[in-house]
Amino acid sequence: MSQSIARSGTRHEVIAKNSMSPLEAIDVAYDRIEAERDRNCWIHVRPRDEAREECRRFMARARAGESLPLLGIPFGVKDNIDVAGMPTTAGCPAFSYIPWHSARSVERLVAAGAICLGKTNLDQFATGLSGARSPYGSCASVADARYVSGGSSSGSAVAVAAGHVAFALGTDTGGSGRIPAGFNGIVGIKPTLGLVSSRGLVPNCPTLDCVSVFCNTITDGEAVLDVIEGFDPEDPHSRSPQDLSGGRVGPWFRFGRIAAANVECFGMPECGELYERACERLSQAGGTPIEIDFAPFRETGELMFNGPWVSERRSAIAALIEIEAPPLLEVTGAVLKSALGYSAVDAFGAIHSLYRLRRDAEKIFAGIDVLMVPTAPRPFTLEEMHRDPITLNNRLGYYSYFANLLDLCGVAIPNATLSNGMPMGVTLLAPAWQDRALIGLARQIEGKCSSAAFELKSRA
């Protein structure tokens, strides 16, 4: 049975209105988690008393005058990101370990007073975009339990959309921080590669991995990004700080769009109609639409999982676990096995192609301020995904696979709802280090594309 995303009592609106104390908000979060275990969005939840005690310590520090901008805000962490004292499984029970130290992004959030409630479900080893590749159960969209939630950061998105936590960390290699946001009617922020430290992440494709943020409004996401961003000399993939102001997008801007005839929806034309409506709203918000050649982006996306970058994924996971052993799901093993078909010659050929495609993308962005694409082509049911897990999974990444390969930042925002009740989002993309300009534009049009009303408030 379908379930409305905007049902009363979600979104942690109690925190937004400051109508409850941090301790009461923690209890509300746990009550919701316990009442909805069938969502399969949590792998590990820390004891309630432990979270309450940490919250009390933070409250005492705040009373003593310490600035804790996220005091008492509950959040979740995708289970391929380390949290000290909590098991990290990456969706593979045989891989489980308990780290001594949290990932750098988690350390920063806790230092700001946020309360981590536990670890969220994911496609095994972050290999997938469906949310249906986990031994801990499939995650369905909060809008309709028949449909996929999107992955691999499925649990994080569902936990936010269901109102279990105010925000959650995910990761994004080929769309994992955007696809689940689109299918659950929330916001997903994918930063520039290296803007947020990846220290403490279970590697997937280390050169393309980044921490992402799921939240209910752009304001929430920027507040979280303000806390977790920053150069980390201990992370070899962290990049030296750049000018993040990126200039503000003014009231009049140019946005790239895909020509209506070229919008790929894989047999569900209504999804294309919703994209057209988003383009119309963006025009009404001051944007001048520029039809772009999507071919360079499509060709780049094909390199991600139909090219040798899957070999980096196999290399990273093989360093952690015996990938031919039974603990891996069959579909995970099949994806990693495909890497054996690529040679070093193939890898260098793909790298050379990528350099050409990056130049093509640079030329396109020289004529636009932002590119808007559907977050995903269309939703699929869990039944469809289980029947054809590789083909349909790759179709989900049609509009997302290329972003990290082309060094883009992105913000996924809600757009509209299909007649079947499933939300369909759009994603705004811009070149690296344009994060703040992109967030500013997303905030400018947020009210026109979404009815979300939650706003994260400082308790400092």
Contact of 405 with 181, CB cutoff 8 Å: no
Antiparallel, parallel or unpaired: β 423-431 and 408-417: antiparallel
Antiparallel, parallel or unpaired: β 167-172 and 74-78: parallel
Contact of 396 with 380, CB cutoff 8 Å: yes
The conformation of residue 12, written as its DSSP 8-state character, comes to: T
Query: Collapsing DSSP states into helix, strand and coil, what is residue 254?
Result: strand
Antiparallel, parallel or unpaired: β 370-374 and 253-258: parallel
Chain mean position to CA 198: 14
Distances, alpha carbon 100 to alpha carbons 75, 84, 107, 302, 356, in Å: 20, 5, 12, 38, 43
Contact of 400 with 376, CB cutoff 8 Å: yes
Contact of 157 with 188, CB cutoff 8 Å: yes
- 52 burial level (CB within 10 Å; 0-12, 13-18, 19+): middle
Angstrom distance (rounded) from CA 214 to CA 400? 16
Contact of 138 with 93, CB cutoff 8 Å: no
**Active-site residue set:** 78, 152, 176
Angstrom distance (rounded) from CA 316 to CA 24? 42
Q: Tell me which amino acid residue 211 is.
A: V
